[in-house]
Amino acid sequence: QSVLTQPPSVSGAPGQTVTISCTGSSSNIGAGYDVHWYQQPPGTAPKLLIYTNYDRPSGVPDRFSGSKSGTSASLAISGLQAEDEADYYCQSYDRNLSGSVFGGGTKLTVL
Amino acid sequence: QLQLVQSGPEVKKPGASVKVSCKASGYSFTGHYMHWVRQAPGQGLEWMGRVNPHTGVTNYAQKFKGRVTMTMDTSITTAYMELSRLRSDDTAVYYCARDKEWGGYPLDYWGQGTLVTVSS
């Protein structure tokens, strides 16, 4: 059971917008710790997609956006493309565990 | 260019230890913590801990305390992760990854991963 909860799967048609949620608690996201997002296509290493809640590393399209409110965060992907099909993970810090934690991951399927 | 290149796959018996290496190049090795993350087959990412390249001070996830040792050899820009008393549920791909900014947790560059298989 992950400390950060994500939906196991989401799907959308090309061109649509999907949102992936990441729900935490008062010991992690709700305590003000930043949330980061990763994209992991099958068989590859994770790639940093969003850091400190909404910033994008250079090279990441602005179709990807992050937000945070209360004990939750969200990743939105607009203008879905076939290449977006991957697993997505959120990450934060948990003060009770004194370490970083990941969500369980969400598999995005582009229909 | 910036690279993290990990050592090859390992097969170990239960109770043994494994040491995975991560050779860094293309950036200031001492300017970033090195983290280790693992992923069991078909499962999600699990943060194991990190090591400060200047002091060698480590922060381990509670689950791995007592079994994991993370070190860095700055002379050859290589980080190591050793896991002892291996069990079958330690079978996973182990990744090294550097922090984007000193002391932070977003991880911007990752190694290619090292598959460790624990089987009798």
| Res B100: pLDDT | 86
- The answer to whether A103 contacts B100, with C-beta atoms less than 8 Å apart, is no
Distance separating alpha carbons of residues B22 and A51, to the nearest angstrom: 23
| Res A89: pLDDT | 98
- The answer to whether B47 contacts A99, with C-beta atoms less than 8 Å apart, is yes
For residue B8, what are the β-bridge partners? none
Nearest-5° Cα angle at B98, B94 to B100: 140
- The answer to whether B44 contacts A34, with C-beta atoms less than 8 Å apart, is no
For B76-119, write each residue's pLDDT tens digit: 999 999 999 999 999 999 999 999 888 789 999 999 999 999 99
pLDDT in tens, chain A (111 residues): 789 999 999 999 999 999 999 999 999 999 999 999 999 999 999 999 999 999 999 999 999 999 999 999 999 999 999 999 999 999 999 999 999 999 999 999 999
Taking only residues 38 to 67 of chain B, the set having a beta carbon closer than 8 angstroms to any beta carbon of chain A reads 44-47, 49-50, 59-62
H-helix segments, chain B: none
| Res A102: pLDDT | 97
